[in-house]
């Protein structure tokens, strides 16, 4: 992989930071990539880069603040909403964690019904069911209803390996996502790869840089004092390099979501993960 580190950007961003590779726990877990052309030798969850107390908070369902939204979504699941007089449960069954098994680890992907064929992430699929099938209002991105239901869908696959399809119709999204990943952006003129491929393991200011894996989203962050979507995290990273983020839920971020999911192919779904 070509080094894309720009000297000015690096000087700005990594200023004063120790470039020594910080130690991961001795027994850190990783997944070996199966794809021939995978850019990483080891696929490592962001979990491994966080301090022990953060990991413990994630591991304990009673401590993990993300679980509160999951509980709320479990209730919402059977609440009737919209002009069609339906709840999620009416069509998908009473046990959401059972109904949604095998779903969360495979998104984003193409879904279809009649002529409604589109490339969707979980958020967009939920809104598709709400607007088309329930005649209910769309939920807003990054509001609690949407976050909670997305956490629920992903959590039903917690522990399952991320398994997205990048061939066939999804291939153009994969290519677009890959291109975005390696494109320099913002006033600092940096790409995702600059930090998450070339420099993971290093410190950037006080933050131990990970591979920017997406297997824990939506994620609870102490900084946010709440749960946030993957597209919110993408936006934050782009703003940090003083760029202008794409719109949540739209094509560029869907493409980036597919591509980053593929970079983490095989990692267990951790939703709701806990990060600093």
Catalytically annotated residues: 237
Question: Among all residues, whose Cβ is closest to ligand HEC?
Answer: 46
Which residue in the set 129, 147, 164, 258 belongs to the binding site for ligand HEC (CB under 6 A)? 129
Cα–Cα–Cα angle for 82, 85, 87, nearest 5°? Answer: 85
Out of 13, 43, 156, 170, the residue judged to bind ligand HEC by CB under 6 A: 13
User: Segment near ligand HEC (CB under 6 A), from 20-28, 33-41, 56-64, 124-132?
Assistant: 124-132
Classify each residue of 223-235 as buried b or exposed e, where b means 16 or more C-beta atoms within 10 Å of its C-beta: eeebbbbbbbbbb
137 is a site residue for ligand HEC (CB under 6 A) = no
Instruction: Pick between residue 33 and residue 47 the one whose CB is nearest to ligand HEC.
Output: 47
Tokens of 255: 């493409």
47, 153, 157, 208, 256 from 102: Cα distances, Å: 22, 9, 6, 32, 22
The count of other CB atoms within 10 Å of the CB of residue 67 is 17
Q: Based on CB atoms, which residue is closest to ligand HEC, 37 or 79?
A: 79
Per CB under 6 A, 164 contacts ligand HEC: no
Q: How many residues lie near ligand HEC (CB under 6 A)?
A: 43
Q: How many CA atoms lie within 13 A of 38 on its CB side?
A: 18
Instruction: Give the chain's length.
Output: 276
Task: State both tokens at 219.
Answer: 């994620």
Integer Cα distance of 97 and 69 in angstroms: 14
How far apart are CB 28 and ligand HEC at their closest, in Å?
A: 14
Report 52-81 residues binding ligand HEC (CB under 6 A): none
Q: How far apart are CA 259 and CA 254, in angstroms?
A: 9
Is residue 154 close enough to count as binding ligand HEC by CB under 6 A? no
Q: Is 260 in the site for ligand HEC (CB under 6 A)?
A: yes
Indicate the residue among 125 and 265 with the shorter CB distance to ligand HEC: 125
Residue 234 lies near ligand HEC (rule: CB under 6 A): yes
Interaction residues for ligand HEC, span 84-123 (CB under 6 A): 86, 88, 90-92, 103, 111, 113, 122
> Quick one: residue 23, left, alpha or beta (phi over 0 = left, psi -120 to 50 = alpha)?
beta
- Rounded to an integer, what is the distance from CA 116 to the centroid of its chain? 24
Task: Rule CB under 6 A: say whether 275 interacts with ligand HEC.
Answer: yes
Contacts with ligand HEC, residue ranges (CB under 6 A): 13, 46, 49, 86, 88, 90-92, 103, 111, 113, 122, 125-126, 129-130, 133-134, 149, 153, 190, 192, 194-196, 204, 207, 209-210, 212-214, 216, 219, 233-234, 237-238, 240-241, 256, 260, 275
């Amino acid at each position: 992989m070509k080094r894309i580190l720009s000297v000015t950007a690096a000087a700005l961003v990594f200023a004063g930071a120790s470039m020594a590779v910080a130690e991961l726990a001795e027994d850190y877990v990783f997944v070996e990539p199966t794809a021939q052309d995978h850019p990483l030798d080891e696929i490592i969850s962001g979990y491994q880069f966080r301090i022990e107390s953060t990991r413990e908070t994630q591991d304990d369902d009673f401590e993990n603040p993300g679980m509160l939204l999951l509980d709320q979504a479990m209730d919402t699941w059977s609440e009737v909403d919209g002009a069609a007089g339906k709840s999620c449960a009416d069509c998908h069954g009473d046990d959401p964690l059972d109904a949604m098994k095998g779903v969360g680890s495979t998104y984003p992907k193409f879904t279809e019904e009649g002529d409604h064929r589109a490339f969707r992430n979980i958020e967009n699929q939920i809104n598709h069911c709400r607007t088309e099938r329930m005649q209910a209002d769309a939920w807003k991105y990054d509001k609690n209803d949407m976050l909670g239901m997305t956490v629920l869908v992903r959590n039903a696959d917690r522990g399952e390996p991320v398994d997205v399809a990048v061939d066939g119709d999804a291939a153009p999204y994969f290519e677009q996502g890959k291109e975005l990943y390696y494109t320099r952006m913002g006033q600092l003129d940096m790409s995702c790869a600059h930090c998450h491929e070339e420099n993971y393991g290093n410190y950037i200011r006080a933050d131990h840089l990970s591979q920017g894996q997406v297997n824990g989203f939506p994620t609870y962050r102490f900084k946010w004092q709440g749960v946030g979507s993957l597209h919110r995290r993408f936006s934050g990273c782009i703003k940090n390099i003083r760029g202008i983020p794409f719109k949540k839920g739209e094509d560029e971020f869907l493409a980036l979501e597919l591509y980053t999911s593929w970079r983490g192919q095989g990692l267990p779904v951790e939703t709701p993960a806990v990060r600093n």
